[in-house]
Amino acid sequence: MNSVSGSGVFIASAAFSAIFMGTIGAISVYAGVGAEAVTFYRLFIGAVLVAVYLLATRQHSKIFMWPGTKVLVTGAFLAGFVMFYILAMDYTNMANAVMVLYLAPVTASVAAHFFLGERLTSASVGLVGFALLGFAMMMEFNFNLSGRAEEAIGLAYAFCAMVCYSAFMLANRSIDDRVHVFSRSGYQMLAGALCMLPLMLLEGEAISGTQWGWLIAAGVLPGFLAILLAVVALRSLPAATFGTLAYLEPITVVALAWVLFDQSLNSLQLAGCALIILAGIAQALLLNRRPAAETTSGNWLPEQ
């Protein structure tokens, strides 16, 4: 395989990883069960499939190891942002939910400024401003939520998802690089599933045959396959390239919401989406340009 066709394979892997990540919203709608159940099965089935893959490829050592407390803690953040994201879509449209979620990269950069000593540059401050402007455009500059109770609840859940995602990103950066991404992803999904198990059991929801199909799809597509393809892509793609392609996820969500659920956006809202996405891409590029001593490679992988 020549270098051009080889790079094409890795770019396609990154693109499909992001697209598969973006299917969780539509799958959760079609599953028709509570957010607790969708989150549990999406994480648990994903973790099981990661373990099966590692056993089948004779990478036993990546399973039978202690991943560290930080990995397990990030699993709780992972469960939080998936569950709150799904809950948000029960009250507001998918585009609002995913765009609030994707304020996480700029939010994490602000948090890192205050708590990790990673000083914001003037460019980073500008990107935060652009992302907030994009959010205001998504809201059509109308922040009066009186009489819009459901949308207010949805945005509150989306904000909680964004906070959990930001914490997930920041905590991931402190995990030892020696913990392989498969080990990290598998144990994070398992820890997240165990966090959701009591909530799901308390809900006591009956699941039908069709619903099982959608729950399995949640574990296979945005769970296992998205992570597998991301790992394949990261073996050869620069971090900035992968980070840019990861923004196919919110684009996928907006497209699926329009095609499947007729959740269309006006020109102002589409421009706001574009601003948020461009700000996130630029943030990924800035992070990649920092000296190696200031950043940890691979720790920003969106292991949803």
Q: What percentage of the chain carries pLDDT values higher than 70?
A: 91
Task: Give the pLDDT score at 289.
Answer: 64
| Lowest-pLDDT range of 24-38, 39-53, 224-238 | 224-238
Residue 2 lies in a domain: no
pLDDT in tens, 138-176: 888 877 777 788 889 999 999 999 999 888 888 887 888
239: confidence class by pLDDT, cuts 50, 70, 90? low
Residue 296 lies in a domain: no
Region 252-271 average pLDDT: 90
297 pLDDT above the threshold of 60:
no
250 pLDDT above the threshold of 50:
yes
Residue 185 lies in a domain: yes
Task: Give the pLDDT score at 264.
Answer: 84
What gap in Å lies between CA 240 and CA 254, rounded to an integer? 23
6: confidence class by pLDDT, cuts 50, 70, 90? low
What gap in Å lies between CA 249 and CA 20, rounded to an integer? 8
Residue 104 lies in a domain: yes
pLDDT in tens, 215-225: 999 999 998 99
Task: Give the pLDDT score at 144.
Answer: 76
Most confident region among 111-115, 137-141, 271-275 by mean pLDDT: 271-275
To the nearest 10°, the Cα dihedral for 248, 229, 221, 284? -30
Is 101 in contact with 161 (CB distance < 8 Å)? yes
What gap in Å lies between CA 21 and CA 85, rounded to an integer? 13
What gap in Å lies between CA 35 and CA 158, rounded to an integer? 13
Based on the number of CB atoms within 10 Å of its own CB, is 145 exposed (0-12), middle (13-18) or buried (19 or more)?
middle
Region 20-43 average pLDDT: 93
Residue with more model confidence, 237 or 185: 185
To the nearest 10°, the Cα dihedral for 115, 117, 123, 127? -20
Provide the residue range defining the domain that includes 221: 22-290
Phi, psi of 206 (to 5 degrees): -75, 140
Residue 4 lies in a domain: no
Is residue 118 classed as helix, strand or coil in its secondary structure? coil
Overall number of domains in the chain: 1
Q: Which two tokens stand for residue 209?
A: 């045959």
Is residue 188 classed as helix, strand or coil in its secondary structure? helix
Of 111, 99, 225, 126, whose CA–CA distance to 171 is shortest? 111
Residue 240 lies in a domain: yes
Residue with more model confidence, 254 or 304: 254
Residue 204 lies in a domain: yes
Residue 259 lies in a domain: yes
